[in-house]
């Protein structure tokens, strides 16, 4: 089977001015993830590497550049899952860590637990020797402006307001032996309450991987995704016989019919089929196959270019 790392850089009402930054970022992440697999790395390493590169990139709402809560702080969520044994790890409302996805992986590999929250997650990071960054250093100028706009005008508390960053990031990967993994990382939504957890840290909502079925990473309005269990719903549609593409479209459509907000998802089936879909205005995505990069951000867009 051809190894693939498919990434997304967030679904939502992405302003025109942010489109090219996002496309550059997802292409870079897809390329880095693909290199890991081509060099014999595992699917977990591949999704971690892809997500880390977007956590470092101010164009996305994860790691550096995360949106701010009502206190003006960055609190981040991430999760990662391995499809062979359903092992997973996650962190929620973690602060002052450059790469929440790497901490999520440590939760998976070094603890008997699947999710650590708040101060406990930061304490675990310290115990594991994960360096903390100075308070405030993950705050970007763009995120500050978005919070100021939120405080002045308010909005509906969703990622769909067109204000601030909407780029939760994620990756799904399959290797030549059909092993699957998924990873997702986010700063949440601008103007969230301190302590607000998101779908992104939750297995079944933000992230899922099962070698018997497929792997999924989602993005969009977290509260709606969590209540709909979007990642697990897509997995079940595949179990019921839908292709990756059909399952992704079907679950997203049903979610939109039941709940007032939009979302997007990327999916790989156990046979390597891809599903890329979103009910939001835009979602940045990319994957590399051999020397060809595939990417898009608009509905119906599927651009290919040699790399």
Q: What is the smallest separation between the CB atom of 225 and a second copy, expressed in angstroms?
A: 10
Q: What is the smallest separation between the CB atom of 80 and a second copy, expressed in angstroms?
A: 12
* Residue 225: closest CA among 189, 181, 255: 255
98 or 103: whose CB is closer to a second copy?
Answer: 103
**215 makes contact with a second copy (CB under 8 A):** no
Contact 105, 97 (CB under 8 A): no
- Residue bearing tokens 């497929």: 214
30 or 229: whose CB is closer to a second copy?
Answer: 229
Options 24, 92, 111, 168, the catalytic residue = 168
- CA dist 156 and 261 (Å) reads 11
How crowded is residue 254: how many other Cβ atoms within 10 Å of its Cβ?
14
- Report angle CA 184, 187, 191 to the nearest 5 degrees: 145
- Of the residues 133, 236, 245, 256, which one makes contact with a second copy according to CB under 8 A: 236
Q: What is the smallest separation between the CB atom of 38 and a second copy, expressed in angstroms?
A: 29
How crowded is residue 128: how many other Cβ atoms within 10 Å of its Cβ?
14
Contact 273, 255 (CB under 8 A): no
Residue 23 structure tokens? 């496309």
Where in 106-135 is the site for a second copy (CB under 8 A)?
A: 111-121, 123-124
**27 makes contact with a second copy (CB under 8 A):** no
**86 makes contact with a second copy (CB under 8 A):** yes
Sign of CA dihedral 44, 46, 51, 53: positive
- Report angle CA 262, 54, 174 to the nearest 5 degrees: 80
165 or 211: whose CB is closer to a second copy?
Answer: 211
Site string (257-286) toward a second copy, x via CB under 8 A: -xx---------------------------
137 or 156: whose CB is closer to a second copy?
Answer: 156
Where in 166-205 is the site for a second copy (CB under 8 A)?
A: 192-198, 202-205
* Residue 130: closest CA among 155, 105, 158: 105
**142 makes contact with a second copy (CB under 8 A):** no
92 or 288: whose CB is closer to a second copy?
Answer: 92
168 is catalytic: yes
Q: What is the smallest separation between the CB atom of 96 and a second copy, expressed in angstroms?
A: 15
- CA dist 138 and 64 (Å) reads 4
What single DSSP character describes residue 201? G
* Residue 267: closest CA among 165, 172, 136: 172
146 or 229: whose CB is closer to a second copy?
Answer: 229
Q: What is the smallest separation between the CB atom of 58 and a second copy, expressed in angstroms?
A: 25
Task: List, by residue number, the catalytic residues.
Answer: 168
Residues contributing to the site for a second copy (CB under 8 A): 75, 81, 86-88, 90, 92-93, 111-121, 123-124, 156-157, 192-198, 202-205, 208, 222-223, 226-229, 232-233, 236, 240, 258-259
């Amino acid at each position: 089977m051809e190894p693939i790392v498919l990434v997304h850089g967030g679904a939502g009402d992405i302003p025109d001015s942010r489109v090219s930054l996002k496309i550059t970022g997802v292409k870079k992440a897809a390329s880095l993830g693909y290199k890991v697999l081509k060099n014999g790395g595992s699917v977990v390493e591949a999704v971690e590497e892809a997500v880390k590169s977007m956590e470092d990139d101010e164009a996305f709402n994860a790691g550096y550049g995360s949106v701010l809560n009502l206190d003006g702080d960055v609190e981040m969520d991430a999760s990662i899952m391995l499809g062979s044994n359903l092992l997973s790890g996650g962190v929620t409302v973690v602060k002052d860590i450059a790469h929440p996805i790497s901490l999520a992986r440590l939760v998976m590999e070094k603890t008997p637990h699947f999710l650590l929250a708040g101060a406990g997650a930061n304490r675990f990071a310290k115990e594991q020797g994960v360096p903390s960054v100075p308070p405030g250093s993950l705050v970007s100028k763009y995120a500050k402006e978005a919070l100021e706009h939120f405080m002045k005008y308010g909005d509906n508390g969703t990622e769909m307001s067109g204000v601030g960053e909407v780029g939760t990031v994620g990756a799904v990967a399959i290797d030549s032996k059909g092993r699957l993994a998924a990873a997702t990382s986010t700063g949440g939504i601008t103007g969230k309450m301190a302590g607000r957890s998101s779908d992104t840290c939750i297995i079944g909502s933000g992230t899922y991987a099962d070698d018997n079925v497929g792997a999924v990473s989602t993005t969009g309005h977290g509260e709606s995704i969590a209540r709909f269990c979007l990642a697990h719903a897509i997995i079940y549609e595949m179990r019921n016989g839908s292709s990756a593409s059909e399952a992704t479209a079907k679950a997203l459509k049903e979610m939109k019919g039941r709940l007032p907000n939009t979302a997007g998802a990327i999916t790989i089936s156990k046979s390597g089929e891809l599903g890329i879909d979103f009910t939001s205005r835009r979602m940045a995505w990319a994957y590399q196959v051999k020397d060809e990069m595939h990417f898009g951000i608009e509905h119906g867009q599927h651009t290919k270019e040699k790399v």
